[in-house]
């Protein structure tokens, strides 16, 4: 009877103190007397009280903010850059056994790789190819974090902060480029207009009636837009005056 009571007591003790509930997004890592023995899946699980204990690992995708890092670009421009890293644990045991604090270790590793990778590019490349550089940072992070049971899903460069004098210089450069474009467009338009005028002059020279019609149309436009009084002089009178001036000279 004593053995039966002891067995019942141990069974109740294990049921009461040995029940562990693992959430759907977690994985439980069981250690027995400090040594890893097994993993327990989501749901109701039983361990041996006192002898075994469980560490829970969140298996969901996590975000890690990389604090703004002050660095120099390849062309010696001081910048401050921050990023966000998306990662996920794929091996719960490694994330506990291989590294003391995988979260802090990942943050420090991301800061180091961010400075190393971005320091190889000049400012123009850094601004124009953020996605390509982010992928390179991801590849650089993936190798060491694999040993920790962590996979890097994505790296996003959030903000690139520049000094005020550099912002002013870039604004002036952009303004100068736009002004250059506007002048080129205006010059091209004037060139095309001059060619059209030359073609129109040739047509009018070949057709006197066409020139007269054009004059009448121009006078009509002037009268409609400016509400002015126009005095028409016959062409023959103008020719007589022109001949008189020529004979006097």
Q: What is the DSSP string of 72-110?
A: E-TTS-EEEEEEEEEEEES-HHHHHHT-S-HHHHHHHHH
Total count of domains within the chain: 2
Ranked by mean pLDDT, the top range of 19-28, 155-164, 173-182 is 19-28
Contact call for residues 84 and 64 (beta carbons, < 8 A): yes
pLDDT reading at 140 higher than 60: yes
On whether both 80 and 108 belong to a single domain, the answer is yes
| C-alpha distances in Å from residue 40, one per residue of 22, 99, 130, 216 | 8, 20, 41, 97
pLDDT reading at 120 higher than 80: yes
On whether both 67 and 161 belong to a single domain, the answer is yes
Which of 167, 197, 226 is the C-terminal boundary of a domain? 167
Structure confidence at residue 45 (pLDDT): 86
Q: Is residue 191 part of a domain?
A: no
On whether both 143 and 52 belong to a single domain, the answer is no
On whether both 89 and 160 belong to a single domain, the answer is yes
Quote the domain boundaries for residue 50: 15-57
Residue whose structure tokens are 């977690």: 26
Q: At what angle do helices 102-118 and 130-146 cross, to 10 degrees?
A: 140
On whether both 39 and 103 belong to a single domain, the answer is no
On whether both 41 and 81 belong to a single domain, the answer is no
**Is the pTM of the predicted complex or chain greater than 0.75?**
no
pLDDT reading at 42 higher than 60: yes
On whether both 79 and 153 belong to a single domain, the answer is yes
On whether both 89 and 118 belong to a single domain, the answer is yes
On whether both 71 and 53 belong to a single domain, the answer is no
On whether both 154 and 88 belong to a single domain, the answer is yes
Provide φ and ψ at 232, rounded to 5°: -90, 130
């Amino acid at each position: 009877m004593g053995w039966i009571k002891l067995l019942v007591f141990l069974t109740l003790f294990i049921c009461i103190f040995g029940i562990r509930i693992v959430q759907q997004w977690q994985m439980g890592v069981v250690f027995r007397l400090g040594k890893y023995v097994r993993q327990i899946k989501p749901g109701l699980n039983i361990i041996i009280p006192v002898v075994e204990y469980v560490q829970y690992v969140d298996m969901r995708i996590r975000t890690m903010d990389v604090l703004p890092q002050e660095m120099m670009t390849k062309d010696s421009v001081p910048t401050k850059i921050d990023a966000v890293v998306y990662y996920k644990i794929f091996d719960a045991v490694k994330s506990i056994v291989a590294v003391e604090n995988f979260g802090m270790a990942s943050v420090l590793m991301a800061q180091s790789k961010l400075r190393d990778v971005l320091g190889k590019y000049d400012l123009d490349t850094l601004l124009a190819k953020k996605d390509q550089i982010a992928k390179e940072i991801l590849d650089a992070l993936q190798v060491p974090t694999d040993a920790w049971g962590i996979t890097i899903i994505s790296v996003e460069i959030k903000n690139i902060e520049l000094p005020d004098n550099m912002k002013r210089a870039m604004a002036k450069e952009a303004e100068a480029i736009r002004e250059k474009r506007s002048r080129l467009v205006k010059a091209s338009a004037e060139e095309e207009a001059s060619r059209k005028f030359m073609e129109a002059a040739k047509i009018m020279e070949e057709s006197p009636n066409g020139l007269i019609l054009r004059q009448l149309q121009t006078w009509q436009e002037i009268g409609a837009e400016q509400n002015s009084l126009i005095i028409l002089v016959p062409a023959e009178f103008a020719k007589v005056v022109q001949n008189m001036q020529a004979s006097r000279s």
